[in-house]
Amino acid sequence: MTESLGCGETKVGDLVGKPWTEALRAPTLKRSGARTLRVIAPGDAVTMDYRTDRLNIETDAAGRVIRVKCG
């Protein structure tokens, strides 16, 4: 997916490998241009609906960002 669809995942790819904190939510939304942001940790239940304007931040068990993608 590309930011032309509205999530801006390439604009925030530098988050991969860094620890996620809720303090990053607002600046990440602003930088990406996404309408919404969802953080997904291991074991979290998530809906299967695909939203082009939603940025998904996936974290590992230690809270480090492992993937940034639209959806």
Place of tokens 């919404």: 36
Q: What angle do CA 10, 24, 16 make, to 5 degrees?
A: 40
Nearest Cα residue to 14 out of 30, 26, 1, 32: 32
Query: In the chain, what are the domains?
Result: 3-70 (3.30.10.10)
pTM, 2 dp: 0.88
Q: Helix H segments across 8-70?
A: 25-32
Q: How far is CA 58 from CA 67, 71, in A?
A: 5, 11
pLDDT in tens, 8-35: 999 999 999 999 999 999 999 999 999 9
